[in-house]
């Protein structure tokens, strides 16, 4: 499957493999990390950002594509919507059917609240399903939540909200037990002890996994529990605007059937945004590992309702997205491949960095190798570097790849590439939304009765996330939002519903000279070819 030029480069990789096999690759110093980030990380490219003109984050910079959505035209403008006759009435409205939304719905239901889940695709169509490498939690004797905190705090450039990160690491061990009890089939030793591995930026082996389809296994289990509890799920229905009440509290959402475009009104005592990430916005033209519906919907809805965003200018570009073949361009190559021993190697066969640096540093170093140093491998889509996968079986014994990362082996084998014998080409792919909606430790935004969970939250990970902390945060903060929203709903007396905040936002846009923008939220990406 590889081109002649690629095969010649592979020969150089093979020629240096034995000398690299047991070599201890040095970590970058703090100054070196800062230098490579500022010079090559996409978050530092000024042309990729603009300044918001309206809303709670007015004056702050965000990606150009996100600004267009945040300052876009509401999809309810000009529509006749009768708020006095709700089509749905519930205690807790959960917007999003991924890991966070499902965990939220389960706990809210168990707390005695009536729950409604609405999702624009199907329950389980989410980034959770696509997560591969594992889920962190400090539950081994040589580890502690304090160590986990320090790793994550440093990895996030000391920018995480302390109360959120504390909750993440303190609730981690109990959440692993909760998932295990629900039926998640984690990798275990014969005696039942959970197998754990390192991830980038971790000081202890705390990565729990289900081979290399950990997210799919967790999502399968959570989805089944939602269905077992008979929680109503409305599939293929998007929330296009939040509804507030006369007291300014979140009180429901306007829903749109994705096929017929019919509009419905859902009234709720509390609302939870669990809409996930933004990879399909393709910031700065990057490919993405995200699922089809990841278009920052929750950020747009919350922002128009008055919720403040935190760190909306920072994204995570996973260092190892598939760079070749083009059929899987941008698809995730789990960090677990590197934690098992594969090295990042340039076209000349040189290992140019420690394979377990944090993701932002790793991505920046790969971009540097392909641009400034000119040591990348040319592809039809651009450039890439080698991830030397045959090293895994050489270090761990024959069969390690097939046992520990079978999904990776299958993905590449479809295109005639045997990762046990040949390295694979990788390049950074848009992977995670570090920023999001600002919340307090109870999961609520600054809009009363509006809770947020999962990737739509900002501040849990600071300005960079360590591997495995996203699957943990969807469970920790999904469960937390469900419990808190259910408890809060018991004391809510319904008030008349209103969309006045949407009209006010439209006025702000006009006053700022912004008009004629595209409708938002985006809902789904467009890949239609444009012809002259």
Q: Which residues are catalytic?
A: 318, 338
Distance, in Å, from the CA atom of 269 to the CA atom of 116, rounded to the nearest integer, reads 11
Q: H helices of 56-98, where?
A: 64-70
> Whose CA is closest to 339, among 192, 131, 196?
196
- The answer to whether residues 206 and 510 touch, using CB atoms and an 8 Å cutoff, is no
Helix (H) and strand (E) counts for the chain?
16, 23
Spatial CB neighbours of 274, under 8 Å, sequence gap ≥ 6 = 94, 95, 96, 98, 100, 101, 104, 298, 452, 453, 454, 456, 478, 481
Beta bridge partners of 238: 256
- The answer to whether residues 442 and 332 touch, using CB atoms and an 8 Å cutoff, is no
Q: H or E segment at 340?
A: none
- The answer to whether residues 436 and 457 touch, using CB atoms and an 8 Å cutoff, is yes
> Whose CA is closest to 239, among 282, 281, 278, 273?
273
Peptide bond into 325 cis (omega under 30): yes
Spatial CB neighbours of 261, under 8 Å, sequence gap ≥ 6 = none
> Whose CA is closest to 96, among 141, 129, 52, 140?
129
- The answer to whether residues 119 and 193 touch, using CB atoms and an 8 Å cutoff, is no
* Secondary structure, 3-state, 411-458: HHHCCCCCCCCCCEEEEEEEEEECCEEECCCCCECCCCCEEECHHHEE
Query: What secondary structure letter does DSSP report for 281?
Result: G
- The answer to whether residues 162 and 169 touch, using CB atoms and an 8 Å cutoff, is no
The three-class DSSP label of residue 3 is coil
Pairing of strands 237-245, 250-257: antiparallel
Distance, in Å, from the CA atom of 42 to the CA atom of 63, rounded to the nearest integer, reads 10
Q: What phi and psi, each to the nearest 5 degrees, are found at residue 235?
A: -80, 165
Query: What secondary structure letter does DSSP report for 289?
Result: -
Q: H helices of 259-417, where?
A: 297-304, 336-339, 359-370, 390-396, 400-404, 406-413
For residue 47, how many other CB atoms are within 10 A of its CB?
A: 7
Distances in whole angstroms, Cα of residue 27 to Cα of each of 362, 420, 504: 11, 26, 52
- The answer to whether residues 222 and 102 touch, using CB atoms and an 8 Å cutoff, is yes
The three-class DSSP label of residue 481 is helix
Distance, in Å, from the CA atom of 301 to the CA atom of 298, rounded to the nearest integer, reads 5
CA dihedral sign of residues 262, 263, 265, 271? positive
């Amino acid at each position: 499957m590889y081109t002649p030029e690629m095969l010649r480069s592979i020969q150089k990789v093979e020629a240096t493999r034995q000398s690299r096999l047991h070599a201890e690759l040095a970590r970058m110093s703090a100054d070196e990390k800062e230098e490579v980030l500022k010079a090559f990380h996409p978050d530092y490219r000024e042309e990729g950002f603009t300044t918001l003109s309206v809303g709670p984050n007015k004056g702050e910079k965000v990606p150009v594509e996100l600004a267009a959505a945040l300052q876009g035209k509401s999809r309810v403008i000009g529509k006749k919507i009768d708020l006095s006759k709700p089509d749905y009435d519930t205690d807790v409205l959960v917007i999003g059917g991924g890991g966070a939304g499902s965990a939220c719905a389960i706990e809210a239901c168990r707390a005695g609240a009536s729950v409604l889940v609405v999702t624009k695709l199907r329950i389980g169509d989410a980034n959770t399903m696509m997560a591969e490498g594992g889920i962190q939690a400090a539950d081994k004797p040589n580890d502690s939540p304090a160590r986990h905190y320090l790793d994550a705090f440093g990895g996030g450039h000391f920018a995480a909200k302390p109360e959120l990160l504390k909750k993440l690491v303190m609730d981690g061990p109990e959440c692993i037990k909760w998932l295990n009890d629900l039926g998640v089939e984690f990798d275990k030793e014969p005696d039942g002890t959970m197998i754990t591995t390192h991830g980038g930026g971790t000081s202890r082996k705390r990565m729990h996994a289900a081979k290399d389809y950990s997210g799919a296994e967790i999502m399968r289990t959570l989805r089944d529990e939602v269905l077992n509890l008979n929680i109503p799920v409305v599939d293929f229905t998007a929330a296009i605007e939040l509804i507030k009440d006369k007291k300014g509290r979140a009180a429901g959402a306007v829903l749109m059937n994705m096929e017929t475009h019919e509009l419905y009104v859902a009234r709720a005592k509390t609302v939870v945004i669990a809409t996930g990430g933004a990879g399909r916005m393709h910031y700065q033209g990057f490919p993405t590992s995200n699922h089809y519906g990841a278009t920052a919907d929750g950020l747009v809805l919350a922002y128009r309702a008055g919720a403040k965003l935190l760190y909306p200018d920072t994204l995570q570009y996973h260092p190892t997205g598939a760079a070749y073949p083009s059929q899987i361009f941008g698809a995730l190559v789990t960090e677990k491949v590197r934690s098992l021993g594969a090295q990042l190697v340039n076209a000349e066969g040189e290992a140019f960095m420690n394979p377990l640096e944090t993701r932002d540093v790793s991505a920046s170093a790969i971009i540097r190798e392909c641009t400034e140093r000119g040591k990348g491998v040319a592809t039809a889509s651009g450039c890439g570097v080698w991830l030397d996968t045959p090293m895994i079986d050489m270090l761990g014994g024959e069969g390690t790849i097939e046992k520990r990362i079978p999904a990776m082996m299958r993905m590449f084998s479809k295109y005639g590439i045997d990762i046990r014998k040949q390295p694979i080409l990788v390049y950074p792919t848009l992977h995670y939304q570090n920023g999001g909606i600002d919340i307090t430790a109870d999961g609520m935004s600054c809009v009363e009765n509006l809770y947020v969970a999962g990737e739509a939250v900002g501040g849990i990970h600071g300005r960079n996330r360590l591997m495995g902390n996203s699957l943990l945060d969807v469970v920790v903060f999904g469960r937390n939002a469900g419990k808190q929203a259910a408890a809060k709903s018991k004391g809510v007396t319904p008030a008349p519903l209103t969309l006045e905040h949407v009209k006010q936002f439209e006025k702000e846009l006009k006053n700022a000279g912004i008009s004629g923008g595209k409708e938002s939220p985006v809902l789904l990406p467009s890949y239609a070819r444009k012809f002259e």
